[in-house]
Amino acid sequence: MPVLDRRPEVVLERVLFATDFSDTAQKALGYAVALARRFSAELDIVHILELSVGMVSSEGPTECLIDAVQQSSQDLLDAELKGIEGIKVRGEIRQGISPPDDLLVSSREVKADLIVQGTASKHGLDKLILGSTAERVLRTVYCPVLTVGQQAAAAPMGPLTFHRIVCADEFTEASNRALEFALSFAQDAGAHLYVCHVMADSQSDPIPIHDRDIQKRMEALIGPESREWCSPQFVVEHGKGPEQILSLATRVNADLIVLGPRSSSFWLDYMQMGMTPAILAHAKCPVLTIH
């Protein structure tokens, strides 16, 4: 049974952008604005003002300190809003003690179709810990998330379209949903789509699986009707998943990577990076995750 046998359509009416006013967040903002322009979507910019331990005394919150931080954040948010033209945009600062939870509440309140966020690796290339807010959003959110890392290129000026898309396929329910979104974006812009499955080379397999067999299995995911408008390229790579996906994205100069991550990949110890966190840390383009 093919995953997709119809002409898909991207529908984005509300985009939620989560900002902490960092340099990476500013880069992610460029993508949020460009996507909102492309799909005539409304953009909500949210900053979660975390009420940390340092803001609370034995007698309760230190109101003067909270007011000062609130005003500083509001000034930064106003500056961001002032620089956005051509779309309907709103800004909000929410106070809370758990930024991921508060961000998810905001996304549900505005009925976001997409969340855009920035993230960074805090421990270099080999020891990855995603920012706690970004990581928890990816694990628990109900809608697609576009994550922009430190190494991602800046968003182009004007409405955003993707021209070369790499979609990782693991033959799971999540990756099937990811493939449908990848096809939707490819159809929207006439992009070239690379569907990639990575095989971990092992000498212990009793029956070897040939690349052509894997390609046929990927091809079967897309039905005849969809092939009238879409001609994806099916790629089989060998080795470690993150390295091969990133290598393919570099070779084809991809401007979007689409993943359907398994939730367990985020529970691995940071010394044993799962595929999704590793790709997010090193991708030179945005990464769209679908659950």
Is residue 165 within 8 A of residue 193, CB to CB? The reply is yes
Could you identify the residue written with the tokens 């809370």?
A: 96
pLDDT tens figures, 139-174: 777 889 999 988 899 998 878 889 999 999 988 888
pLDDT tens figures, 179-232: 888 988 888 778 899 999 998 766 455 556 788 899 999 988 887 766 666 678
pLDDT of residue 57 exceeding 70:
no
Write 245-251 long-range contacts (CB < 8 A, 24+).
245/166, 245/168, 245/196, 245/198, 245/275, 245/279, 246/279, 246/282, 246/283, 248/166, 248/194, 248/196, 249/166, 249/283, 249/284, 249/285, 250/284
Amino acid at 247: S
Q: Can you give the pLDDT at residue 260?
A: 87
pLDDT tens figures, 18-50: 998 988 899 999 999 999 999 999 999 999 887
| Count of residues in the chain | 291
Q: Can you give the pLDDT at residue 115?
A: 94
Contacts of 116 (CB under 8 A, 6+ apart): 15, 16, 17, 18, 28, 29, 31, 32, 35, 145, 146, 147, 148
- CA 245 to CA 267: how far, in whole Å? 21
pLDDT tens figures, 93-125: 988 777 778 888 889 999 999 999 998 654 443
Q: Which of 54-68, 89-103, 164-178 has the lowest mean pLDDT?
A: 54-68
Per the structure block, which two tokens stand in for 228? 């009238």
Q: How confident is the model at residue 241 (pLDDT cuts 50, 70, 90)?
A: confident
Compare 290 and 262 and report the one with higher pLDDT.
290
Compare 229 and 130 and report the one with higher pLDDT.
229
DSSP assignment of 122-179 equals SSTTTS----HHHHHHHHH-SS-EEEE-TTSPPPPSSS---SEEEEE--SSHHHHHHH
- CA 160 to CA 192: how far, in whole Å? 15
Assigned CATH for 14-289: 3.40.50.12370
**Dihedral sign, CA of 75, 77, 78, 80?**
positive
Q: How far is CA 233 from the centre of its chain?
A: 22
Helix (H, G, I), strand (E, B) or coil at 75: helix
Helix (H, G, I), strand (E, B) or coil at 49: strand
